[in-house]
Structure formats: structure tokens, C-alpha cells
Structure 1
């Protein structure tokens, strides 16, 4: 797929459907909402992107912009705690008929919840003025086979097997998010074919301060073990290391947790930034404050790719806000044109 650009103006889109190339012309303007990876890929296939990269792939350059240059994402870490209190939701409880019927008839009980019982957002580095560096999402779902074999967790089978042997049915899960990553990745085209997946390198933990924030976050999380509430349920941390993965480090040392972070931190799927928004004088920017692609008339991007930086929270609500704001700006432009 590509946006058709004539004389620096978007006039339509070209795409393939049912094996046939199709062309749709735009009456007013073209809106790209293909996501952080899709929108950047389509722009570059259309000739909007870094000049050197496009020339290397023999794609005619329409506008030289830093598309794909500012890829950010949150990392998260799944940790387990065993407890002595039967408070968590496990496979056995979830299969009980009365739990299922309670939801069907009353919309109450364990099936009326999403598993996240609460969140803690806190600043673990007082020298960092940017806001909370971590979020702890507390889940009452037991660490069992149904959870850890989820492909989104993406642990190796031998690690999953080892962890499952250490937890009991009364375990609960804490999901830690690193909210202020400094590491920046990038997206490139693999080829000029729209059917080739782009090259994505998030460069996780390439900035040394990110792993130090993780260690601080671990220390904060472990401090909760000393609270009356956690002691009352006998919350005990389950070790993460397995043979060949940090078992050689001194347990609970900073080096141990740095090793754990480099092995077990994973994507939170909160990607942003490949079509960055900002001032037209900012060399890192792809779209302006009204989401218009710089240098191309009648072309906007409206999705999480326009965020300048990953927010100190989840990206779902901000992405919805971008869509709502884009719709209002588009309607406003049409109203002005008709009034004139």
C-alpha cells in the first residue's frame, strides 16, 4: 500500500485487495491510522521518510522526514508471590459453576473483574523530574499454566516449567512497568515491497539508566513485603533465576537484578513515536500540531505514532484521544471551508 502524492499533495491511496491492485482517490484528504508500525511503513513506501534510507531501497523521495526514527516503548516485568491465604483466582476457582453463574445472572463475582486489583505509580528516582518512573499493577490471578503459556508472555518453555514448580495455587502476580525509558529504537523498511515486514529494533535497555530504574523499582516493590498487609497473607517472593539465567549471581544483589532485568523484561506493547508530532522547526518531527505530515498537503496521521514520547501510563486512552481530536480538527477544517 502507498499514499499517492502528486505535487506534494496527497490525492489518494493505492492498495492490493483479493490479489488485485486498487486505487481510491481522496475527495478531501488522506488519513493514516495504521498504527505505530503501519503508518510509518506506509509513509516510507510512499516516499516520505529518511532520504538516505529511501534512496538505498530505490524509493523515489517525495519528502525527507525522520519517519521511524523515534520508537519508544514501555518494558514490563512479571513477578510472582506465593501466599498463605486463599485470596487469589486460580484455574480451580474459575471452573466452579457457581462463579460462572454468578456472572451470567448477576454480573458479579470473579468474572466481573479484569484481574487488575490496583496500581501503584511512584517515583523511585527523586533526581528525575519527569514523573513516576514505575507502575506496579497488582493482579489477583494466580501464576498458573493458563497465564504463563500465553504467547504474549513469551517465556521459553523450560523457564515456564521451572517457574511453575515454584509457585502454588495461592500465588498472585505483580506486573511492573518501567514508565520513563530513555532508550530509543527505530523502524526501517526491509524492502520496497509492502508485503515485507519492516525491521523493528526497539533497542531496549540501550541507555544504562533504564536498568538502574528497574533495580530501584525492585527495591520499592520488595519494601511492600514488610507492610502489615503483605505480611498478613504471607506474601513470599518467588525467585526468577533459572540455571543459565542469572543463577550464578548473588541472590537479591543489584547485579542479580540487573541480570534478571536483561533476561526477563519484555515489551508492554506500548509503542509510540515513529511519526512524531511537534513544531515544524524541530528536526525530529514528522507531523505538525494538527497531525498534518510536514511537506505534504492533505495528509494526516492519527494514531499513537504521533506521540512525542511514551506517556507515564498506558497508551490506550491517549490513542483514543488522538483519534477524537483528529476527528474534531478534520470536521473543523471542513466547516471553515464551507463557510468560506
Structure 2
């Protein structure tokens, strides 16, 4: 095992924490809405939990070359984070207003950390998602949610975990079974609590600020996303890498967004059902839809570029 690898991974995770602290420290000087409230400490407790979880996964799979962090990976981290921050800003209702579909807000930028995790490894995916989302929130100016930024990092990291497995097909099938169970359980929670509010849906013109009862489509969005991913799996059954990339991105959404939603049980005092129905479903479902649609496009473009430059 490369003896420098643990240090490089630790430094990458430390860099994420430093960036978070700098944004929290400097951000309010430019926009008062970026000032954290009394929940700042518990939010950063969950940031620490997320970073520790990444390190634990790394430690148990540290012999795999996917965790290598060199100059090339550092460059991709910066590019991925910058792209995610800019596109998050553009599509978070500031420049390009992408209409919601039956309360399901569409955020195509999530495909960026998914792709960077797949193409350049789990550390690059994590950094791109976490730092990119933190800067995206700062640019948007709606507030800072550090534990949700870590969640976006987990989406990118888990999308890159495909590289940890030699038998990609077998691992992908296992991920599908796990995701099917998670989709079923979370959707069942919505079925049992159909009148809970969609905390992720805002319509200023209609006077809705996360207080409208969740729609049927939003409640079923995780199932819709899962079905789309399964279709991609079937359509690209001869292209295991592409199918696996989309499948792992789906699991990343379940775990990453689930982590953030569950953290709000302690951060915001939500009940478990409110966290799942009001936050998880309307956030994770659309992300999976974009995983199924945009990740194959990005991978296809990347592979074409690789062939063109002869790599």
C-alpha cells in the first residue's frame, strides 16, 4: 500500500472542513442570510460524522487504487467543485428558474458530483459535491446548511465507489436490491403519512413556503427514480460501467440525502416521518431522475473525448 495515501485522503477531508469554516466565517460579511443560527454546532457535529464516515469507508478499502489523491485528482476536485457551485447557483432559482413538476423541484446540477465521482474516484466526488454545494449555497444567498453539503459530498463519493469492485455487475445488482428496499420503505412512510408537508417546495407567487401537503408525484418520486434507473440498467446491460455508474449514483442519493434528512431530526427537531416525507423524498427522488438521464450523457461525452485525445 502507498504509505502517503492515508495522509492525502485525510488532507482532502480536512480541506473540506476548512473550506466550510471559511465560508461560514466570511459569508455573513457579504450576506447576512449566510449567518448560522444557534444550530451551528449541531450542524457541524453532523459534518464531522459525515467526514468520519468517509474516512471509515476509506480505511476498510484503503488498498484500492481508487482512493489515490495526486495532483491530477486535486485539479479535478477544484474543477468539479467550481462547476457544481456555478451550476447550483444558476439553477437554484437565481438565473434559470427550472419549473417544479407537481412539487418536485428539478436540480440538474446534482449530476456533476455523480459524474466526477464515477470518472475520477470517490475522493474527487466527495470534494466536488461537498465544497461545490457549500459555495453554491453561499452564491445563492439563501442560507448555509453544512450537513446538507456533506450529504452532497456523499452522493459524489458513493457514485465513485463503483471503482472499489472487480465484479461490477454483481456489486451493481446488490446495490439495486438495497435501493429497492430503501425506495419501498421510504415510500411506505409517505403512504402512511400522506398529509405531511413538502418542506422542499417553495412557490413565492402562490404564498407557499414549504407548508403545502406533499403531492402524490413527490411522494412517489423515489419509486419513479428507481424505475428509471432500472430501465437504464436494462437498456445498457451490455455497458456495465455506465449502468453501474447510474446505479451507484442512485445509492449515493439514498444515503447522502438520507443522511441530511435524518440530521434534521436533531437540527430542526423534525419527527422521523417529517424528515423522510417532507425532505428526503422530494429531494432524493428528483436527484435519481437526473442520475438516470444526465449521468449517461456526461459519461458518453467523456468517453468520446477520451477516444478523441487517445487516452
Common fold: TM-score over 0.5: no
Larger % of strand: which? 1
Larger % of helix: which? 2
- Structure with the greater alpha carbon radius of gyration: 1
- Taking CA–CA contacts closer than 8 Å with sequence separation of 6 or more, which of the two structures ends up with the larger relative contact order? 1
